[in-house]
């Protein structure tokens, strides 16, 4: 069956290690468009962190969509209007902020337009996230936070080894009630239990009139597993973690070797 929708993760997949879209990848995506194939960026980043790439790929048009915050939001690419929202509450924020202090790990929270940290000694990983995505960063003590806020996602951040230790120490109730997974070695993402890339990709495919057999998904990290499991054609990058390669039907080249372009070229 022909592929009519391609969902592509960004960091470690679409983007090379310099956070660039190479000319070959850009050309492959443009060729897909000319053949009538829809391309959707499916990322852990907030909308502000993908706008320039949407423009670069000419995806910022009417009738185009993106999946952001690891599936917590499905948005239009032209103005970021939300079609689907699966959010965390302020009580969820308070729970994980307290838990992060108990586990002695840095913590950050995302609204739709801003990132907050309650850590006075702001983590270098938090600063990197703000720099990489362009999302405004604010230090805000817990007592000063707006209790009306809701959050697409929360994050615990630290070295890979430290986060592995944190994962093993998480209360079972947290694991059962929330969707918790790594999106990168230094980022542990916390979402509503019903928020993931797979569910959002399913929602979007149905909205666009496609069945799962017509969907291809490409990714590299744990947060991509749900959309790879949903898609009719699942593709792991050559630089993917072992879990992703095990689930995927196809393993393409790495993000340093135009892996996204190669698999699109092969299918189109």
Q: Which residues are catalytic?
A: 9
State how far the Cα of 52 lies from the Cα of 262, in Å rounded to an integer: 23
Contact 153, 197 (CB under 8 A): no
Contact 251, 236 (CB under 8 A): yes
Residue 63 CB-density burial (10 A; 0-12 exposed, 13-18 middle, 19+ buried): exposed
Residue 235 β-bridge partners = 218, 250
State how far the Cα of 85 lies from the Cα of 107, in Å rounded to an integer: 22
Helix runs in 104-220, H state only: 124-133, 160-169, 172-177, 197-208
Phi, psi of 20 (to 5 degrees): -115, 150
State how far the Cα of 254 lies from the Cα of 103, in Å rounded to an integer: 34
State how far the Cα of 143 lies from the Cα of 153, in Å rounded to an integer: 20
Q: Tell me if residue 127 falls in helix, strand or coil.
A: helix
User: Within a 10 A sphere around the Cβ of 143, how many other Cβ atoms?
Assistant: 6
Q: What is the largest CA-CA distance in the chain?
A: 55
CA dist list (Å): 205 to 132, 231, 238, 267 = 29, 10, 26, 19
State how far the Cα of 268 lies from the Cα of 262, in Å rounded to an integer: 10
């Amino acid at each position: 069956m022909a592929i009519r929708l391609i969902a592509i993760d960004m960091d470690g997949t679409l983007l090379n290690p310099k956070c660039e879209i190479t000319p070959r990848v850009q050309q492959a995506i443009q060729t897909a468009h000319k053949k009538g194939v829809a391309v959707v960026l499916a990322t852990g980043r907030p909308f502000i962190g993908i706008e320039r790439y949407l423009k670069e790929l000419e995806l910022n048009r009417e009738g185009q969509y993106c999946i952001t915050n690891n599936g917590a939001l499905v948005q239009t690419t032209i103005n970021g209007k939300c079609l689907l929202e699966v959010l965390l509450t302020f009580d969820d924020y308070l729970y994980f902020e307290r838990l992060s202090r108990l586990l002695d790990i840095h913590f950050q929270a995302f609204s739709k337009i801003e990132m907050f940290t309650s850590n006075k000694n702001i983590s270098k990983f938090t600063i990197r996230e703000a720099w990489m995505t362009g999302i405004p960063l604010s230090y805000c003590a817990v007592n000063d936070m707006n209790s009306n806020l809701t959050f697409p996602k929360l994050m615990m951040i630290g070295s890979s080894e430290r986060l592995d230790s944190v994962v093993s120490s998480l209360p079972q109730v947290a694991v059962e009630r929330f969707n918790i997974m790594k999106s990168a070695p230094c980022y542990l993402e916390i979402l509503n239990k019903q928020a993931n890339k797979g569910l959002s990709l399913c929602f979007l495919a149905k909205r666009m009139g496609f069945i799962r057999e017509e969907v291809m998904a490409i990714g590299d990290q744990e947060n991509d597993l749900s959309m790879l499991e949903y898609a009719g054609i699942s593709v792991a990058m050559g630089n993917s973690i072992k879990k992703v390669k095990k689930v995927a039907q196809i393993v393409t080249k790495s993000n340093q070797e135009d892996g996204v372009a190669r698999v699109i070229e092969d299918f189109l």
